[in-house]
Amino acid sequence: MNPVWLIAVPLALAFISTFANRISNWLLFLSAIFNAVAGIFLSFSSGTASYSIGGWRSPFGIDLIVTDATRILLPVANILFFFAVIIHLSKKRALEKFSVVYTISLASLNGILLTNDLFNLFVFLEIAGVAAYLLAMTGKEGESKVAAFKYLLLGSVGSLLYLLGVAVLYAAAGTLNISAIATKVSDGLLNGDVMLVSSLLMIAGLGVESKLVPFNGWVPGVFTKSSNMATLVLASVYPVAMISTFSRVILAVGDRRALDLVIVLGVATVLIGEVIAFKQRNLRSTLAYSSIAQSGLAIFLVGIGTVEALTASVMLIINNALAKFVLFSVDSYTTEELGADDLESLYGLGRMAPVAGLIFTVSALSISGMPLFLGFRAKLLAISSSFESLLVVPIVILLAAAIEITYYFRWIFALYRPYKGEERARLSLPLELMAIGVVLAAILVFLGSSSHETLMAFSKAGNAMVDAIITLGKNLIGGV
Amino acid sequence: MIQYFSLLLTAIGIYGLLSQKNLVKLIVSLNIAEIGVNLFIVSIGYIEKGLVPILSSENNSSTLLFVDPLPQALVLTSIVIGVGITALALAIIVTINHSKGTIDIDELIERGGAEE
Amino acid sequence: MKRIIAGIIALLFFFTVSIVLNTDSQTVSGVPRYGEFDLSERNSHSYVTKSVNDTLKEVKFGSTIDAETGSANFVTSIVINYRSFDTLGEVTVLFLSATGVGLLLGGDKKRLLSPIKASPVVKTAAKIVSPLLLILGAYVFTHGHLTPGGGFPGGAIIAAAFLLLVMVDDEKRAPALLKVLEGSMGLAYILLGIGGLLISGSFLQNFLPTGVVGNLFSAGLIPIVYSLIGLKVGAELSGIVDDFVSEGGDNI
| pLDDT tens, residue by residue, A63-106 | 898 888 888 899 999 999 999 988 887 766 556 678 899 999 99
DSSP annotation of C114 reads P
Give CA–CA dist C77/C28, Å, rounded: 31
Decide if pLDDT at A162 tops 90.
yes
Query: Across chain A, what does the average pLDDT equal?
Result: 86
> Which residues, including other chains, have CB under 8 Å from residue A180's CB and lie 6 or more apart?
A58, A59, A173, A473, A476, A479, A480
Residue from B78, B86, B103, B116 to probe the interface with A (highest A Cβ count within 10 Å): B78
Helix (H, G, I), strand (E, B) or coil at B22: strand
Interface residue B42 vs chain A (CB under 8 A): no
Cis peptide before A418 (omega within 30 of 0): no
Reported ipTM: the value is 0.94
Helix (H, G, I), strand (E, B) or coil at C57: coil
Mean pLDDT over A436-440 rounds to: 85
| Fold that domain B2-48+65-111 belongs to in CATH | Helix Hairpins (1.10.287)
Q: Which of B52, B66, B70 is facing C43, going by the closest CB pair?
A: B70
Q: Which of C72, C104, C152 is facing B91, going by the closest CB pair?
A: C104
Interface residue A97 vs chain C (CB under 8 A): yes
Nearest CA-CA partner of B50 in B41, B38, B63? B63
Q: In chain A, how long is the greatest CA-to-CA distance? A: 75
For chain B, give every domain's residue range: 2-48+65-111
Decide if pLDDT at A454 tops 80.
no
Contacts of A133 in chain B (CB under 8 A): 88
Q: Which of A62-76, A272-286, A442-456 is predicted least confidently?
A: A442-456
Given this model, what pLDDT does residue A477 score? 44
Give CA–CA dist A113/C201, Å, rounded: 22
Give CA–CA dist A283/A289, Å, rounded: 10
Decide if pLDDT at A480 tops 60.
no
Conformation bin of residue A373: beta by default, left when phi > 0, alpha when psi is -120 to 50: beta
Amino acid at C40: S
Helix (H, G, I), strand (E, B) or coil at B54: strand
Residue in chain A closest to B114 (alpha carbons) equals: A221
Nearest CA-CA partner of C242 in C171, C184, C191? C171
Given this model, what pLDDT does residue A254 score? 82
Give CA–CA dist A11/A398, Å, rounded: 44
CA C107 to chain A, closest CA, distance in angstroms equals 12
Band of the pLDDT at A257, cuts 50, 70, 90?
confident
pTM exceeds 0.90 for this model: yes
Give CA–CA dist B29/B10, Å, rounded: 9
Give CA–CA dist A416/A350, Å, rounded: 5
Share of chain C above pLDDT 90, in %: 25
Per-residue H/E/C for A210-223:
CCCCCCCCCHHHHH
Mean pLDDT over C35-60 rounds to: 76
Contacts of C252 in chain A (CB under 8 A): 97, 137-138
Decide if pLDDT at C252 tops 60.
no
- Consecutive 10-residue averages of pLDDT for chain B (116 residues): 90 92 93 95 88 83 84 94 95 88 79 53
Which helix or strand (DSSP H or E) is residue A248 part of?
helix A238-253
Q: Which residues pair with B66 in a beta bridge?
A: B51
Q: Which of C43, C104, C250 is facing A174, going by the closest CB pair?
A: C43
Mean pLDDT over A258-285 rounds to: 90
Mean pLDDT over A340-369 rounds to: 82
Given this model, what pLDDT does residue C247 score? 67
Neighbours of B67 (CB within 10 A): 21
Given this model, what pLDDT does residue B116 score? 41
More confident residue, B87 or A467: B87
Q: Which residues pair with A446 in a beta bridge?
A: none
Say whether B87 and C147 touch across the interface (CB within 8 A): no
Query: Across chain C, what does the average pLDDT equal?
Result: 84
Instruction: Check if the beta carbon of residue C222 is closer than 8 Å to that of residue C204.
Output: no
Given this model, what pLDDT does residue A101 score? 92
Give CA–CA dist A328/A105, Å, rounded: 19
Given this model, what pLDDT does residue A479 score? 42
Burial A436-474 (b: 16+ CB within 10 A, else e): bbbebbeebeebbeeeeeebebbbbbbbbbbbbbbebbe
More confident residue, A432 or A73: A73
Length of chain B: 116
More confident residue, A355 or A239: A239
Interface residue B3 vs chain C (CB under 8 A): yes
Helix (H, G, I), strand (E, B) or coil at C139: helix
A93 burial level (CB within 10 Å; 0-12, 13-18, 19+): exposed
Say whether A54 and C23 touch across the interface (CB within 8 A): no
Neighbours of A125 (CB within 10 A): 27
> Phi/psi at A427 (nearest 5 deg)?
-100, 145
Residue from B38, B43, B60 to probe the interface with C (highest C Cβ count within 10 Å): B60
Neighbours of chain A (3+ CB pairs under 8 A): B, C
- Which residue stretches of chain B are H helix? 2-19, 23-44, 70-100, 105-111
Helix axes A307-338, A431-449, angle to 10 degrees: 150
Mean pLDDT over A287-294 rounds to: 92
Mean pLDDT over C61-72 rounds to: 76
| pLDDT tens, residue by residue, A195-238 | 899 999 999 999 998 898 888 888 888 888 888 888 999 999 99
Give CA–CA dist A296/A316, Å, rounded: 10
Amino acid at C57: K
Interface residue C224 vs chain B (CB under 8 A): no
Given this model, what pLDDT does residue A478 score? 41
Decide if pLDDT at A121 tops 70.
yes
Say whether C103 and A98 touch across the interface (CB within 8 A): yes
Give CA–CA dist A101/A226, Å, rounded: 14
Tell me the DSSP string of A393-441. Answer: HHHHHHHHHHHHHHHHHHHHHHHHSPPSSS--PPP---HHHHHHHHHHH
Its sign, for the CA torsion C164, C165, C171, C172, is negative
Band of the pLDDT at C237, cuts 50, 70, 90?
very high
Given this model, what pLDDT does residue A93 score? 59
Mean pLDDT over A414-440 rounds to: 77
Given this model, what pLDDT does residue C249 score? 54
Q: Which of residues 86-115 of C touch A (CB under 8 A)?
A: 86, 88-90, 92-93, 95-97, 99-100, 103-104
